[in-house]
Structure formats: structure tokens, C-alpha cells
Amino acid sequence: MLIEKYKNIRDYTVKICKPLEIEDYIPQTAPFASPPKWHLAHTTWFFEEMILKKNEPNYQEFHTEFSFLFNSYYNTIGKRVLRADRGNMTRPTVKEVYQYRKYVDEAMIQLLNKGVSKDTTELIILGLNHEQQHQELLLTDLKYTLGHNPLFPVYDSENDFLFKTNEEKGWTSIKEGVYEVGFVGDNFHFDNEKGRHKTYIEDFEISKGLVTNKEYIAFIENGGYTKFQYWLDEGWHWIQNNKVSCPLYWHKIDGDWHHYTLAGLKKVNPNAILTHVSYYEANAYANWKGMRLPTEFEWEVAADNFKWGHRWEWTNSAYLPYPKFKIKEGAVGEYNGKFMVNQMVLRGASVATPLKHSRKTYRNFFHPKYQWQFTGIRLVK
């Protein structure tokens, strides 16, 4: 069972890269967006470094420098290439990286066939969920690179990833009370979901549908990006300094809004769900509407009452530890805890999220300025 899961998830990463040309594997358009080649290698490095080196006494590294090249942020493990320099690595070649994946996969299958301990099994499952996170990042990072190419290249002509529309309308009401939030059960979850606890929530109504392109265009046309009163001060400086006046990938052409999609440049569908907005923009839009964003706890309590999963949804909650949260010893302890500052929580999932990699307790998190994920807005009143 675990072997099949391992193979399927590892194969899906390769499948995402199938439409790419060799030139697409290397560029890094921004420090936060890693190249496809790096994602392919880093997810492989995880299994080599965390599993094989610790469980196979005679294991020989594929290359002694790969730990330095493809470690992401694990200080416990040692030095690494600066994140902003990942696109500068023309070597190793893409061919070598695929050979690296094959080498590690063969060693992992041999290890799994021999049998592993409960602790190692849990670490492998963590590694597979880590790879699924990178599958989503692979798509969003790739879109960022292709979306800044003046030719607006097509990645998948059959799927623009943006066509989804709301399946529900109206509002759902949640009564005030004390609710329990956080993960419960025996299935996989990240450590930042642990610590199920009680929280008090007042009466509120939450929209069953997400904000659409048409609704957001009304905000733009009403001068939403030019009126400081809707913006947090930090957000106002962000749009001024970066000359932001619309969602990421949007372009006004001959009087009509177009946007870059993974199927190429297309006219914005007014009825489709808005995407690629920052927390600053989501908060400003909510203020313009005379409403607000939900807290992450309100979102979780209400999540069974509406459809979710098309967009990562910004919440009004800072990314902080739950009660009794403890950082584990070793490299695994660097996975979530050290990022609990200056970031906002997003709930749900997106069209780029792999199947079976979402749950209502999942806590995604990003700095409030980022637009490049498939992010959207759900309102509360």
C-alpha cells in the first residue's frame, strides 16, 4: 500500500513536468518562485537525506554536493544555496536530476520492500505530503515564470485552471458559542493542525460563494486601488511602491480585462471565481464591501456548510501556534513552527492542490503581499 502511494505521488510530480521544454526547467523569475528542476531535486533530496541515509547503512549518496544544492531551509542539516540563487544552477543538468530521482526511487522501493519501522513510515508519509505541497508550488511557480514571458506560453491548452464558478449562492449563519477546532483522528496531518482546542465565536454570516471576477472589477472601477481608506497602511504602501492596480496576471487590452492562464492569455470570465490576490487586496475589497474576512476558526467551524477547495482563502488570522504546540527535535521540527511570524493563514485548497491533500483543518500560510498562489476571497458579515 505504501509502496503504491509512494510511486503514484512521485510519478505525479514527473507528470506535471511532461509539457515542459528543457528551457522551462531552469529560470527563477522571483526569489519566492523556485524552478521546476529545483522542485524535482528537492523533493528527492528529502527522501535521500531524511530516510535513506538514516535507514540504509551502506547507502551511497548520488552526489556529495546535492545536499548543499537542494536543501531548502533546514539549518539542522547544514549549509545550502541561497533561495534566490536556485535559478542560477544550470548544473546539474535536468537529465542528471531525473537520474537522481530514479536512483533514489529505486533505493526507496528496496527499503520499503524490506519493511520499515513505524517512525520511519510516518516520516515517509510526511515526505509524500511534503512532495504534494511541492506539486502545488511547482504549478504556481511555473505559472509565475511563464506569466512573465511576453509570449504568454501555453502550458496546458485543455485547462486554464481558472474556469471554476460558484456552485452556491447566499449566506450561511453560524450561532455564537464555544466550538472545538483543530485536527482530530488518526489520519495524516501536519503538526500545526494539532492541539484541538475550544474557541468562542460570536454570531456571523459567511458567504457560500467566493468573490467573482465581475464583483472585483466593480471594486477596481470604483477606484478601489486609489482610495487609501480601504487599505491597511502596509498594504497601501505595498500597492504604491509596486504599482499594483489589479490582480496578478491581469492586463487591460483594448478596454477589456485579460489575464494570463496556464492555457495562455484569455479574456477574464466575469462569472469565474477571482484568483491571484494578496491578503492586502482581499482585506481592502472586504472593507469596500462593508464586510470582513473570516478568522481561520470561523472558517473551520462553518466549512461543512459550503463548497470549498477551488481557491486558497485568505483569513483574518495571523499564523500562530495552537495551544500545547511543541517544535519537534531535529530537522522535522523546522517544518512549520519557525515560520509562525508575519504570515496570514489561508484555509481550504485550490485547483492546483493534489487530490486527497486537503482537509478543513489544513493551515496554509503566506506573507500578506503574495498573489502567486491560487488565492481567493470569502466574505463575512
Q: Mean pLDDT check: name the lowest of 140-154, 309-323, 325-339, 340-354.
A: 325-339
User: What is the distance between the alpha carbons of residues 364 and 381, in angstroms, rounded to a whole number?
Assistant: 23
Write the CATH number for 122.
1.20.120
Cis, peptide link before residue 92, omega less than 30° from 0: yes
Q: How confident is the model at residue 29 (pLDDT cuts 50, 70, 90)?
A: very high
Q: How confident is the model at residue 336 (pLDDT cuts 50, 70, 90)?
A: confident
Same domain assignment for residues 317 and 255: yes
Which residue, 250, 242, 251, is CA-closest to 280? 242
Same domain assignment for residues 115 and 198: no
Same domain assignment for residues 202 and 106: no
Give the pLDDT confidence score for residue 334 in this predicted structure: 67
Give the pLDDT confidence score for residue 78 in this predicted structure: 84
Same domain assignment for residues 332 and 366: yes
Which residue, 270, 318, 319, 303, is CA-closest to 380? 303
Which residues, including other chains, have CB under 8 Å from residue 63's CB and lie 6 or more apart? 92, 100
Same domain assignment for residues 70 and 187: no
- Flag whether 104 is in a domain: yes
DSSP category for residue 212: B
Give the pLDDT confidence score for residue 195 in this predicted structure: 92
Give the pLDDT confidence score for residue 302 in this predicted structure: 98
Mean per-residue pLDDT over the chain, rounded:
96
Asked if residue 24 has pLDDT above 90, the reply is yes
Tell me what the mean pLDDT of segment 5-9 comes to.
98
- Flag whether 116 is in a domain: yes
Tell me what the mean pLDDT of segment 242-262 comes to.
98
Which residue, 316, 317, 318, 336, is CA-closest to 326? 336
Last residue of a domain, one of 81, 114, 147: 147
Tell me what the mean pLDDT of segment 171-200 comes to.
96
Same domain assignment for residues 249 and 305: yes
- Ordered alpha helix ranges (H), the chain: 2-17, 36-47, 53-55, 66-70, 94-114, 118-147, 213-221, 233-242, 279-288, 296-302
Give the pLDDT confidence score for residue 331 in this predicted structure: 75
Same domain assignment for residues 142 and 191: no
User: What is the distance between the alpha carbons of residues 83 and 131, in angstroms, rounded to a whole number?
Assistant: 18
Same domain assignment for residues 131 and 54: yes
Give the pLDDT confidence score for residue 241 in this predicted structure: 98
User: What is the distance between the alpha carbons of residues 281 and 261, in angstroms, rounded to a whole number?
Assistant: 20
Pairing of strands 375-376, 312-318: parallel
Q: Which amino acid would we find at residue 378? A: R
- Flag whether 360 is in a domain: yes
Same domain assignment for residues 214 and 299: yes
Same domain assignment for residues 237 and 358: yes
Same domain assignment for residues 235 and 371: yes
Q: How confident is the model at residue 66 (pLDDT cuts 50, 70, 90)?
A: very high
Same domain assignment for residues 175 and 131: no
Domain span holding position 38: 2-147
SS3 348: strand
Q: Mean pLDDT check: name the lowest of 75-84, 118-127, 212-221.
A: 75-84
- Flag whether 155 is in a domain: no
Number of domains in the chain: 2
pLDDT in tens, 74-114: 888 888 999 999 999 999 999 999 999 999 999 999 999 99
- Flag whether 381 is in a domain: no
- Flag whether 152 is in a domain: no
- Taking the model in full, what pTM does it have? 0.96
